[in-house]
Amino acid sequence: MATANHNLSNYDKRTIPNAKDFRFGIVVSEWNETITKGLSKGAYDALIDCGALPENIIEWDVPGSFELIYGSKKMLEQKVDAVIAIGCVIQGETKHFDFVCEGVTHGIKELNLSSDTPVIFCLLTDNTMQQSIDRSGGKHGNKGTEAAIAAIKMADLRRKA
């Protein structure tokens, strides 16, 4: 979703299922921790705001964004209704950015294809630190909030389907 002139934190609670009966896993990369902790806070706060119980939210840290795949895979074993994978990769001078972004994208996609539990992709892939700040609680709101709303909706879909 494009973020230009859009606040990621805006949602209408009337259109979102109540999350009180769902369990959520949040897997957070420690790399670019200032950004990922902001995203995690946005996700947690939105889950709570939509009715999730604190005891039904499990949060684990992993060293980097590439490790989100394994962390999310293990989180699926915790009998959660949805997993939110949170990371931040900022463009540098090497191709490492491309490899990590592509690997995480494909890894999360594979988890969604191989599991009955949705894994929500909350990986910022920005060109600058300022862009990441703007999307993790700055002028564009918080992508973590958006990921939490997606997790609630997907958990509800999973239960209904």
Rounded distance between C-alpha atoms, residue 57 and residue 98, angstroms: 31
Whose CA is closest to 73, among 124, 107, 36? Answer: 107
Full-model pTM:
0.93
Residue 28 Cα distances to 31, 32, 51, 108, 137, angstroms: 9, 10, 21, 14, 16
Question: What's the DSSP call for residue 128?
Answer: S
pLDDT (tens, 9 = 90+) of the chain, 161 residues, equals 454 556 657 888 899 999 999 999 999 999 999 999 999 999 999 999 999 999 999 999 999 999 999 999 999 999 999 999 999 999 988 888 889 989 999 999 999 999 999 999 999 999 999 999 999 988 888 999 999 999 999 999 999 98
CATH architecture of 21-160: 3-Layer(aba) Sandwich (3.40)
> Which residues are known catalytic residues?
96
Every domain of the chain and the residues it spans: 21-160
Angle between helices 33-49 and 143-160 (to 10 degrees): 50
